Amino acid sequence: MAKVVFLGLGVMGYPMAGHLRTRGGHEVTVYNRTGAKADAWVKAFGGRAAPTPREAAAEADLVFACVGNDDDLRSVVLGPDGAFAGMKKGAIFVDHTTASAGVARELQEKAVALGLDFLDAPVSGGQAGAENGALTIMVGGNDKSFVAAEPVMNAYAKMIVHLGAPGSGQLAKMVNQICIAGVVQGLAEAIHFAKSAGLDVEKTIAAISKGAAQSWQMENRWKTMTAGKFDFGFAVDWMRKDLGIVLDEGRRTGARLPLTALVDQFYADVQAAGGNRWDTSSLIYRLEK
CATH number at 175 reads 1.10.1040.10
> What pLDDT score was predicted for residue 98?
97
- Same domain for 278 and 207? yes
Domain end marker among 165, 187, 206: 165
> What pLDDT score was predicted for residue 133?
98
Looking at the structure of the chain, the number of domains it has is: 2
- Same domain for 146 and 195? no
Torsion over CA: 118, 239, 130, 209 (sign):
negative
Supply the range of the domain harboring residue 219: 171-288
- Same domain for 115 and 202? no
pLDDT tens, 193-250? 999 999 999 999 999 999 999 999 999 999 999 999 999 878 999 999 999 999 999 9
- Same domain for 205 and 271? yes
> What pLDDT score was predicted for residue 11?
94
- Same domain for 16 and 133? yes
- Same domain for 106 and 195? no
158 is catalytic: no
- In sequence order, the 6+-apart residues with CB closer than 8 A to the CB of 13 are 6, 7, 32, 65, 66, 67, 96, 130
- Same domain for 83 and 192? no
> What pLDDT score was predicted for residue 232?
84
Percentage of the residues of the chain whose pLDDT score is greater than 70: 100
> What pLDDT score was predicted for residue 130?
97
Q: Indicate the pTM of the whole model.
A: 0.94
Domain end marker among 165, 192, 208: 165
Q: Are 95 and 89 in contact (CB under 8 A)?
A: no
Q: What residues in the chain have per-residue pLDDT under 50?
A: none
> What pLDDT score was predicted for residue 50?
98
> What pLDDT score was predicted for residue 233?
77
> What pLDDT score was predicted for residue 222?
97
> What pLDDT score was predicted for residue 160?
98
Catalytic residue (one of 43, 88, 173, 241): 173
- Same domain for 280 and 210? yes
